[in-house]
Amino acid sequence: MSGFVSFVGSGPGDPELLTLKAVDRLKAADAVLFDDLSSGPILGHTKPGADLVGVGKRAGRPSPKQSHVSQLLVEYASTGARVVRLKSGDGGMFGRLEEELLALKAAGIPYEIIPGIPSACAAAAAAGIPLTRRLTARRVQFVTGHGVDGQLPADLNLPALADAQATTVVFMGKRTFPRLADALMANGLPGTTPALLAEEISRPEQSLTRSTVAELARSLRAAPSGTAALILYGALAAEGGGDA
Amino acid sequence: MSGFVSFVGSGPGDPELLTLKAVDRLKAADAVLFDDLSSGPILGHTKPGADLVGVGKRAGRPSPKQSHVSQLLVEYASTGARVVRLKSGDGGMFGRLEEELLALKAAGIPYEIIPGIPSACAAAAAAGIPLTRRLTARRVQFVTGHGVDGQLPADLNLPALADAQATTVVFMGKRTFPRLADALMANGLPGTTPALLAEEISRPEQSLTRSTVAELARSLRAAPSGTAALILYGALAAEGGGDA
């Protein structure tokens, strides 16, 4: 008796940014395995008696082993349950989706993938800016600032990331941004490039701080903190009002 | 008497990929200005009597002037109407959002921006693949293949786009892909890099074709067509089953 797993992107946290399909799957689920950022009111869509299992990996805390999450997924589905694996943002970006897909494939368990609102799109919307602009920002790129060991990955494509003509969003990179900023500036990105620090996106505590690459690196070096955040840099980071 | 404009990302086309917030705004709208790809069943959420105005710009057809769309938005909102400006995918990516924001700011009309599911995220989910992978695909980038004149933009950052260690998604670039592929290969991208052509994403006619950069360029040169499509290339384009 085989169950079914729906990988569901929960969006950035605001329950109103769930898709209709996500709500449908949550309502039908016998079990929900969720990340830290996809909890709270989002789980209010589940039915009474559903198993709600937190498997979050907060930055700075020891992570539950990924293999343990994959094993839990397989175990729940093997009982015939309808399982939702809720991942914050869009599960396909920096969500370690592939490792869980492979475990299900190996176990012969059917699944589907439902995309979610990427936190980068929600951050830009909250700041009142687009991620692209005709003629001057034709490329947008997303990168992780958090390697397997928690440090800045050593093999980033720095010339690509140091392009002031692109909009760049750094995921999970607040702690390592001072080092990244040094490397970007060494590769030609002006320190005066506008930067936006977006914290607790789409939540009541949301905070948007406009700065520059050099200034933001300085302030994060002086006052490191562990809250979830995105850093966006490029010309568009200076625009918008944040009050839109 | 001032109205209010909600810029709403409609997602890729599947009405189930609307967010709860998008549905809420559509239900309340007195007028909806929509793109080609955000029409159909999505508009079924509107109330009887709402003005539904198509302002789409299909690739290959003469575009309605962007200034005309902005003017329409201002005119509707100036009557006190609640207006939804529906943009396919996420409006902040390649949606020319900024030009409309500026027109509203100039007219003193309040607005909000509601993010949507980017078509790139929906295409990857449909293909059963993530957009990033630990260690080997830490960067994902989105770029337009369609400049202001309809040609491949001349000032693309080709070295950044020719990085086989990134996942790259080309928006509106089917017609210009043969030229782009030549330029990427001249900049070192192996012609054997896996590529995925995703057409009519999330719609009943959805089609996913796996190939390589060189092969896809050859087939598109031989049989150009105007349907909406994304092209994704990088190692992950070879994965998944398309049947997930």
Residue of A nearest to B241 (CA): A105
On whether residue B210 sits in a domain, the answer given is: yes
Q: Contact A113/B95, CB-based, under 8 Å? A: no
Query: pLDDT confidence of B243, banded at 50, 70, 90?
Result: very low
Q: Are B100 and B140 part of one and the same domain?
A: no
Q: Contact B90/A11, CB-based, under 8 Å? A: no
Name the residue among A116, A160, A240 with its Cβ closest to that of B160.
Answer: A160
Query: pLDDT confidence of B59, banded at 50, 70, 90?
Result: very low
> So what's the pLDDT on residue A163?
97
Q: Are B126 and B67 part of one and the same domain?
A: no
> So what's the pLDDT on residue A236?
92
Top residue of B17, B111, B158, B168 to mutate, by most chain A CBs within 10 Å, is B17
Of A79, A114, A149, which residue is a domain's last?
Answer: A114
Phi then psi dihedrals of residue B223, to 5 deg: -135, 75
Number of domains making up chain B? 2
Q: Are A139 and A71 part of one and the same domain?
A: no
On whether residue A244 sits in a domain, the answer given is: no
Q: Are A126 and A225 part of one and the same domain?
A: yes
pLDDT greater than 50 at residue B139: yes
Name the residue among B92, B111, B160 with its Cβ closest to that of A121.
Answer: B92
Q: Contact A148/B155, CB-based, under 8 Å? A: no
**What amino acid positions of A are annotated as catalytic residues?**
35, 57
CA-based nearest distance A163→chain B, Å:
8
Of B114, B133, B167, which residue is a domain's last?
Answer: B114
Lowest average pLDDT, out of A77-86, B130-139, B181-190, goes to B130-139
The dihedral sign for the CA sequence A66, A70, A76, A82: positive
Q: Contact A98/B239, CB-based, under 8 Å? A: yes
Name the residue among B24, B95, B161 with its Cβ closest to that of A130.
Answer: B95
Does the annotation mark B57 as catalytic? yes
Q: Are A170 and A99 part of one and the same domain?
A: no
Query: pLDDT confidence of B147, banded at 50, 70, 90?
Result: confident
Of A82, A114, A146, which residue is a domain's last?
Answer: A114
A211 and A219 Cβ atoms separated by less than 8 Å? yes
Q: Are B107 and B17 part of one and the same domain?
A: yes
Q: Are A148 and A166 part of one and the same domain?
A: yes
Q: Contact A115/B117, CB-based, under 8 Å? A: yes
CA-based nearest distance A244→chain B, Å:
5
Q: Contact A101/B130, CB-based, under 8 Å? A: yes
Q: Contact A113/B125, CB-based, under 8 Å? A: yes
On whether residue B148 sits in a domain, the answer given is: yes
Measured distance CA(A185)–CA(B36) in Å, rounded: 42
On whether residue A16 sits in a domain, the answer given is: yes
> So what's the pLDDT on residue B150?
84
Question: Looking at residues B109-116, what average pLDDT do you find?
Answer: 97
Q: Contact A92/B15, CB-based, under 8 Å? A: no
On whether residue B244 sits in a domain, the answer given is: no
Residues 6+ apart with CB under 8 A from B218: B178
Q: Contact B101/A128, CB-based, under 8 Å? A: yes
CA-based nearest distance B53→chain A, Å:
23
Question: Looking at residues B203-211, what average pLDDT do you find?
Answer: 93
Q: Are B74 and B143 part of one and the same domain?
A: no
> So what's the pLDDT on residue A59?
45
Residue of B nearest to A90 (CA): B121
CATH number of the domain encompassing residue B232:
3.30.950.10
Name the residue among B99, B140, B156 with its Cβ closest to that of A141.
Answer: B140
Residues of chain A scoring pLDDT < 70: 1, 38, 57-64, 241-244
Residue among A210, A209, A217, A208 at smallest CA distance from A189: A217
Average pLDDT, chain B: 91
Measured distance CA(B139)–CA(B80) in Å, rounded: 44
Question: Looking at residues B164-173, what average pLDDT do you find?
Answer: 95
CATH number of the domain encompassing residue A90:
3.40.1010.10
Please give the structure tokens belonging to residue B236. Answer: 């992950």
> So what's the pLDDT on residue A242?
44
Residue among B53, B51, B7, B57 at smallest CA distance from B37: B57
Q: Are B160 and B200 part of one and the same domain?
A: yes
Top residue of A131, A165, A239 to mutate, by most chain B CBs within 10 Å, is A131
Helical residues (DSSP H) of chain A, grouped into ranges:
20-28, 66-78, 97-107, 119-127, 158-161, 177-186, 213-222
Lowest average pLDDT, out of A1-15, B22-36, B112-126, B221-235, goes to B221-235
- B177-183: long-range contacts, CB 8 A cutoff, minimum separation 24: B177/B145, B177/B216, B177/B217, B177/B220, B177/B231, B178/B217, B178/B218, B178/B220, B178/B221, B179/B152, B180/B145, B180/B152, B180/B156, B180/B217, B181/B213, B181/B214, B181/B216, B181/B217, B182/B217, B183/B152, B183/B156, B183/B158
CA-based nearest distance A175→chain B, Å:
17
On whether residue A243 sits in a domain, the answer given is: no
Q: Are B87 and B169 part of one and the same domain?
A: no
Q: Are A92 and A199 part of one and the same domain?
A: no
CA-based nearest distance A6→chain B, Å:
10
**Helix B66-78 / helix B97-107 crossing angle, nearest 10 deg:** 40
> So what's the pLDDT on residue A63?
58
> So what's the pLDDT on residue B148?
81
On whether residue A163 sits in a domain, the answer given is: yes
The one-character DSSP state at A234 is S
What is the count of residue pairs from A and B with beta carbons less than 8 Å apart? 199
B51-54 and B31-34 beta bridge pairing: parallel
Residue of A nearest to B152 (CA): A138
pLDDT greater than 80 at residue B211: yes
Q: Contact A117/B160, CB-based, under 8 Å? A: no
Domain with A80, as residue range(s), is 4-114
Contacts of A16 in chain B (CB under 8 A): 19-21, 24
Q: Are B70 and B48 part of one and the same domain?
A: yes
Contacts of B90 in chain A (CB under 8 A): 117-118, 121, 131
On whether residue B243 sits in a domain, the answer given is: no
